[in-house]
Amino acid sequence: MPYGEAELVDGLGQLLREEGLRADCYIRPNIFASDERIGNIGLVGAKVAVSIVAVPFGKYVKNDEGAHLTISGWRRIDDNMIPSRGKICGAYANTALAKTDAQRAGFDDAIFLDQGGHVAEASAANLFIVRDGTAITPAITDNILEGVTRRTLIQLMADELSVRVTERSIDRTELFVADEVFLCGTGFQVVAVTRIDHRTVGSGKMGSLTSSLKSLNEDVVRGRLVKYRSWCTPVWAGAAVAARQRGGPAGSPAPPAGWGPSLNATRIRR
């Protein structure tokens, strides 16, 4: 990596201001080997480059209060094939196959099983079930991404909602007897699942824990809760500070009146 965390965060802020983005957006940084050669490129001695793309972004799943999912026939890539805890671009071919099949069958998304037949995650989101007041999520050894949002929700449930969270393997049929099922991720945020393979989950409506967590997470990522504001980095309100740190002009128009660190903040989990 040719850049450190501070340089990446600063560069990201500059990008968002240059693009004039004042709405929800999705940020995709890519780190890649940039050598101009053909073949199976090993990383020893490879040139490394970074690109960052930011685009306006609405809901990843439009039906986020009642998504319908299917269990995919495609298996989640094993950690000994491609590191499952990393966001590896090539691994998204696995995601594309599962999600394409799910959408063609009329579902919003797909649920992967791992090589042992246990629940792993959705196409691009971690998964939780709720049974008897306990939130349960697959262990990090079940070929899942160690998601930032997953980690965030585990802490919020424990600290703010007094909900016990258990990390363990989940059997396929537990999905059908769960009181609630929900997904989470950077793009997803919190999505309630109310039907899986034509079977109703719980009452068939977004459950109380999912609803509370969805609202709480929304307040956290937008910097409304002072307690968690250190998880957010202001974009427009931080322009002048960032410029002073770089020793140059802000290079962007002044933020509108009333614009503060609680608005349009990019969530960074340190």
**Is the pLDDT confidence value at 157 over 90?**
yes
Interval 202-231: pLDDT, tens = 999 999 999 999 999 999 999 999 999 999
Global pTM?
A: 0.86
DSSP readout, 158-204?
A: HHHS---EEE----TTHHHH-SEEEEEETTTEEEEEEEETTEE-TTS
Over residues 127-146, mean pLDDT:
97
Tell me phi and psi for residue 266, to 5 degrees.
-90, 125
Which amino acid is present at 102?
A
Cα dihedral 77→83→89→92 (10° resolution): 20
Element (H, E) at 246: helix 239-246
Query: For the ranges 3-17, 42-56, 74-88, 229-243, which has the lowest average pLDDT?
Result: 229-243
Domains of the chain listed by start with CATH number:
5-58+230-267 (no CATH), 67-221 (3.20.10.10)
Interval 11-59: pLDDT, tens = 999 999 999 999 899 999 999 888 887 766 677 778 889 999 999 998 8
Which residue is listed with tokens 């509108």?
256
Separation of alpha carbons 222 and 157, rounded Å: 18
Interval 239-255: pLDDT, tens = 655 555 555 444 444 43
pLDDT over 70 percentage in the chain: 87
